[in-house]
Structure 1
Amino acid sequence: MDSDAALAILSALSHPTRLEAFRLLLRHEPEGLATGALVEASGLSQSTFSSHLAVMAKAGLVRSAKQGRQNIQRADIAALKSLMLFLATDCCQGHPELCQPLVAELTSCC
Structure 2
Amino acid sequence: MENESAISALGALAQGTRLDTFRLLVRHEPDGMAAGEIARQLDVPQNTMSAHLGILARAGLIRSERHSRSIIYRADLDGLRSLTLFILKDCCGGNAELCAPLVAELTPCC
Interval containing the TM-score (normalised by the shorter chain): 0.7 to 0.9
Deviation of 1:94 (Å)? 5.6
The alignment's TM-score, normalised by the length of structure 2, stands at 0.87
Equivalent-residue separation in structure 2 for 1:16 and 1:94 (angstroms): 33
Task: Tell me whether 1:53 sits opposite 2:53 in the alignment.
Answer: yes
Equivalent-residue separation in structure 1 for 2:60 and 2:101 (angstroms): 26
What amino acid sits opposite 2:49 in the alignment? F
Equivalent-residue separation in structure 1 for 2:97 and 2:54 (angstroms): 39
State the identity %. 50
Aligned length: 108
What amino acid sits opposite 2:74 in the alignment? R
Unaligned runs of 5+ residues in structure 2 are none
Runs of 4+ in 1 over 4 A off after TM superposition: 100-103
Match of 1:44, SS state, is coil
The alignment's TM-score, normalised by the length of structure 1, stands at 0.87
Q: Deviations over 1:57-100 (max 9, x none)?
A: 11011100011211000000000001111111112126233236
Equivalent-residue separation in structure 2 for 1:75 and 1:49 (angstroms): 15
